[in-house]
Structure 1
């Protein structure tokens, strides 16, 4: 059972692990392990054998299909909403965390959320400004070539402008095409 105050079973002995796992025990010397003091069993004076559980929200809460239950405490500050929330719910309900599909759906949901935030900003009094917020003007002013020498990602720096400006250019082209088609229909 998960989330109990005491460990449910004793861990395997060092000899069992050494026989089962090649190379096990290379870091047995406590001087080699910075986490050694934290690994000691401590009496935490816990007043519980199983922690008090936070009540589950009315609409439910996403959890991995590997786990039989939610953790006793979970965040509720940003509940899932909209299309990105539906994508995230589907990822958690359908795919294991060990599958690439789970993580690709979560990444896709993040992109959908970002696109929604950009669209909402266009309707606000202070829309996003991709030119100044991307740092393009600052890079031009503060020695762009000298600042790029010696960087680890030098081989793929050419794609940076495409990644920053590409979505904005595609969005502008899309708006132009839709506006032109609507004008031709009239």
Structure 2
């Protein structure tokens, strides 16, 4: 069926169908661009120092990237990712993920030296794995993460185990003395 025949067949059933095809309709209904413009002037831009800014967009809104200022090594990694690579490159996103991992490691390290360090057993939901049908909730339910679910315990508990092993080794060398 030709397109105009299709439109003509639908016109009696759908009011307004194909109306833009009528002669002169488009010219009469082309909006004036000033109708869509904001009636106020743009605010003064804040200086962009210390904020994440893509190299693709020279202007950012006055508050973009100011909620959590970049700081430390993770901030330097993120600043490098935003300043050097385009958002459509894998390197950009891998550097941002690396910055997140560095920040996460720093938070875990800081937690170990507080009076109330993080408790990976209760705060990661590991105890729920034993009481809330751990196998039944993962098998036969069409889960997308089924292929890499085996990796989750390694990624979540692995850093804590590694930290504990390294701590025991360091403390053993410091307080163990020399064995003859």
TM-score (normalizing by structure 2): 0.68
Cα distance, 1:69 vs. partner?
3.1
Structure 1 pair 60–141 and aligned structure 2 pair: CA distance change class (3 A): closer
Question: Which stretches in structure 2 are left out of the alignment for 5+ residues?
Answer: 1-16, 19-30
Partner of 1:120: 110
Q: Which residue of 2 aligns with 1:25?
A: none
Cα shift readout 1:4-25 (whole Å, capped 9, x = no counterpart)? xxxxxxxxxxxxxxxxxxxxxx
Q: Is the CA contact 1:54–1:74 (under 8 Å) kept in the aligned structure 2? A: no
Deviation at 1:45, TM superposition (A): 6.6
Aligned residue for 2:161? 169
Separation in 2, partners of 1:155, 1:55: 46
2:81/2:92 contact within 8 Å kept: yes
CA distance in 2, matches of 1:176, 1:158: 27
Shift of residue 127 of structure 1? 1.4
Which consecutive aligned stretches of 4+ in structure 1 deviate over 6 angstroms post-superposition?
Answer: none
For residues 175 and 136 of structure 1, do their structure 2 counterparts lie closer, same or farther at Cα, with a shift above 3 Å needed? same
Aligned-residue CA RMSD (Å): 2.8
| 1:28-67 alignment runs, 5 A limit | 43=35, 46-48=38-40, 51-56=42-47, 59-67=49-57
1:61 to 1:148, Cα distance in 2 relative to 1, 3 A: closer
Q: CA 1:66 to 1:75, structure 2 compared with 1: closer, same or farther past 3 Å?
A: closer
Counterpart pick for 1:76 among 66, 81, 88: 66
Displacement after TM superposition at 1:44 (Å): 5.2
Q: How many residues align?
A: 147
Residues 42/169 of structure 1: CA separation in 2 closer, same or farther (3 Å cut): farther
Q: TM-score, normalised by structure 1?
A: 0.66
Q: Which has the larger radius of gyration?
A: 2
The structure whose RCO (Cα within 8 Å, separation 6+) is larger is 1
